[in-house]
Amino acid sequence: MNFNVEEINQLIRSRRSIYPKDYTGATVPNFIIEQMLENANWAPTHKQTEPWRFVVFSGDGLKTLAAFQSSCYKEVTERNGSFKEDRYQALQTKPMESSHIIALGMKRDAGKRLPEWEELGAVFCAVQNLYLTATAYGIGCYLSTGGITNFEEAKSFFGLESDDKLCGFLHIGMPKGTTPDGRRRPLQEKVTWVNH
Ligand SMILES: Cc1cc2nc3c(=O)[nH]c(=O)nc-3n(C[C@H](O)[C@H](O)[C@H](O)COP(=O)(O)O)c2cc1C
């Protein structure tokens, strides 16, 4: 197989998180979302558990997500005393700033043959495939792990059970323009080579 390695290096290194304030408001064609999901399905998976699950919200579906996540937030936080009006308002309105939002789930296999961290690792490999495919098509996206991500009460809405995990939301939109610069600390801080 021949790949253009220079292009792939550039794709990986130029991938950036692009936020809804930098989306035009135009709708991303569904065939691109389908390609993103197809590539996500080719993530590596220990014991072939393929634990990634996706719920795609678009069109009026974004309003459905907004209504659910805001009411779930209100119900849970009023009970535990952490309710914040501005967060509630944001959960009610933010989804409509994206073209599509993909809720990201991790489904435990019946036998729980792997530790949870391995299954979460596989899901986030799939998320990287979503990110890179979006970048290749010139589409913006970012991963959010805020809002109701960690709410136990949110899981069932996304088809998840108590042993499963809601892993966040990928917000997707047509980017307005230039890609933001990326910053990383030097690789040397994070790598050890052993040659002898
Ligand atoms: C596991 C994970 C969770 C993240 N959660 C959030 C989040 O809740 N809100 C947010 O604005 N960005 C979130 N991000 C995006 C990061 O902020 C972003 O990747 C980081 O700033 C590096 O920028 P880049 O993606 O453009 O290289 C998350 C990224 C990862 C990998």
Residue nearest (by alpha carbon) to ligand 1 atom 31: 143
Q: Which structure tokens are listed for 1? A: 């197989």
pLDDT tens digits in sequence order for the chain, 196 residues long: 789 999 999 999 999 999 999 999 999 999 999 999 999 999 999 999 999 999 999 999 999 999 999 999 999 999 999 999 999 999 999 999 999 999 999 999 999 999 999 999 999 999 999 999 999 999 999 999 999 999 999 999 999 999 999 999 999 999 998 888 999 999 999 999 999 9
Q: What residues line ligand 1, using a CB cutoff of 6 Å?
A: 16-17, 142-146, 182
Ligand 1 pocket test, pick from 145, 167, 169 with the greatest ligand atom count within 8 Å of Cβ, gives 145
Q: Is 72 exposed, middle or buried (0-12, 13-18, 19+ CB in 10 A)?
A: middle
Domain assignment present for 13: no
Domain assignment present for 86: yes
Domain assignment present for 173: yes
Q: Which residues contact 79 (CB under 8 A, 6 or more apart)?
A: none
Q: What CATH number does the domain containing 66 carry?
A: 3.40.109.10
Domain assignment present for 22: yes
Domain assignment present for 63: yes
Ligand 1 pocket test, pick from 143, 181, 183 with the greatest ligand atom count within 8 Å of Cβ, gives 143
Of all helices (H) and strands (E), which one includes residue 144?
strand 140-144
CA 170 to chain centre: 3
Nearest to 23 by CA among 163, 171, 187: 171
Domain total for the chain?
1
pTM: 0.98
Beta bridge partners of 55: 103
Domain holding 126, by residue range, is: 18-189
